[in-house]
Structure 1
Amino acid sequence: MKKELDFFRVGRAYGGNQDWFADPMMRLGGCAAVTACDSSIYFDRYRGTRLYPFHQGRISKKEYTRFGMRMKPYLKPRWSGIDSLDIYIDGYGAFLEDAGCDSIGMKPFSGEESAELAGKEVVKQIDRGFPVPCLTLNHTNPSFKFYEWHWFLLTGYETAEKDCKVKAVTYGSWNWISLNGLWDTGYSRRGGLILYGEK
């Protein structure tokens, strides 16, 4: 079974890209803020919120980066990175509160849970119409180096008997990757998922 969420484009890019920012810290460590920006635009388009302050019809890179700079104080890049689920929930939660949005809730799903359970949660979230923020920390498999110490969105799934592939969205593009491979980092300290929901 396969399912993908409708998403949005910024010009030709599939979602936002931290490389667009003039701010060096946002280019280096703005992945959590970009994940929150992309989530916000998605919620506006498909769940009726009003979080993106500019015109929704055709999103420009200039306006997107202005929005990202508004998000920056809530998910401020730091040298250690936004390296826990709680930091994201606290920061994005504060943004939602300041924006007057009381319809979106969040809860953490630890990377210490099994890949099987993670796959089930991703399927449930996508079926409910929610993108899934994912945090990957260190990874022993060089195939996943692109996602190492990084926040990004999962916006689709394809289930199979032994694995679940997920549509990973980051840097203005997407790839289908193995969730089992992504989840099995080889390290004891792991990231995890943010599970959005209606309050």
Structure 2
Amino acid sequence: MNWVNIMDELKLFTIDKAIGGNQDWFTDYWMKLGGCGAVTACDICIYLSLYFGKKLLYPYNLAQISKKDYINFSNIMKPYLSPRVTGIDTLEIFMDGFKDYLADNGEKNTNFAGIYSNCSLINFKNAVCAQIDKKMPVPYLNLKHKDPELSDYVWHWFWLAGYKKTGDNLMVKAITYGAEHWLSLDDLWDSGYERKGGIVLIDAK
């Protein structure tokens, strides 16, 4: 294990008391059903605007992020990461759509790399922790999973905003549906299915 700390967490932002956005707010049927990729990208844009000075990525008031503005922002993001029948079910679809949004908004110094969870658990943990140690959020795609306790995360995009080591297990703070939840990264990685999700590594200069 080569992460710097036993525990590290990112700064978070709230929207009308919610932590990050929530696709349940949307009135568009498809966005409400399958807008998790767009929500994750919207949240990352707000985070980068707040904490990395990339103000062009969020076109509304950062001093007071409102639910109304967030919903409007999601409609701007929708053409880039629109819901589809099979979902945004690969890292490449997410990264390509997000890159297009960044390019259209004048951001040239943010890059992405994907790591699927068919890598070793230790490499997966190291990648997550290295990003958090750099104060960078980690978009996460989970597809099918054998654990019924993770049913809310099946075929779902969310993002990671912290980690803590508990014995041999690594817990990660997942942000989704306007709330935070501590989950076992060991369990998330071990989906029990051949087809895997994974994480997106963000490099913002």
Common fold, TM-score beyond 0.5?
Answer: yes
TM superposition score normalised by structure 1: 0.98
User: Take 2:196 and 2:143, find their aligned partners in 1: how far apart are those partners?
Assistant: 6
User: Take 2:16 and 2:102, find their aligned partners in 1: how far apart are those partners?
Assistant: 26
Structure 1 position 89, deviation (Å)? 0.5
Number of the residue aligned with 1:17: 22
Find out whether 1:125 has 2:131 as its counterpart.
yes
User: Take 1:23 and 1:169, find their aligned partners in 2: how far apart are those partners?
Assistant: 22
Identity %: 46
Tell me the amino acid that sits aligned with residue 7 of structure 2. K
User: Take 2:16 and 2:22, find their aligned partners in 1: how far apart are those partners?
Assistant: 11
Task: Give the match's secondary structure for 1:146.
Answer: helix
1:117-163 superposed Cα distances (whole Å, 9 cap, x missing partner): 11111110001111000000000110111111000000000023411
1:97-134 superposed Cα distances (whole Å, 9 cap, x missing partner): 00000121100011211222111111100011110000
Tell me the amino acid that sits aligned with residue 13 of structure 1. A
Task: Give the match's secondary structure for 1:28.
Answer: helix
> Runs of at least 4 residues of structure 1 off by over 2 A?
none
Q: What stretches of structure 1 of length at least 5 have no aligned partner?
A: none
Q: What stretches of structure 2 of length at least 5 have no aligned partner?
A: 1-5
Structure 1 position 193, deviation (Å)? 0.2
Aligned residues: 199
Find out whether 1:37 has 2:42 as its counterpart.
yes
Tell me the amino acid that sits aligned with residue 149 of structure 1. W
Tell me the amino acid that sits aligned with residue 36 of structure 1. A
TM superposition score normalised by structure 2: 0.95
Number of the residue aligned with 1:196: 202
Number of the residue aligned with 1:170: 176
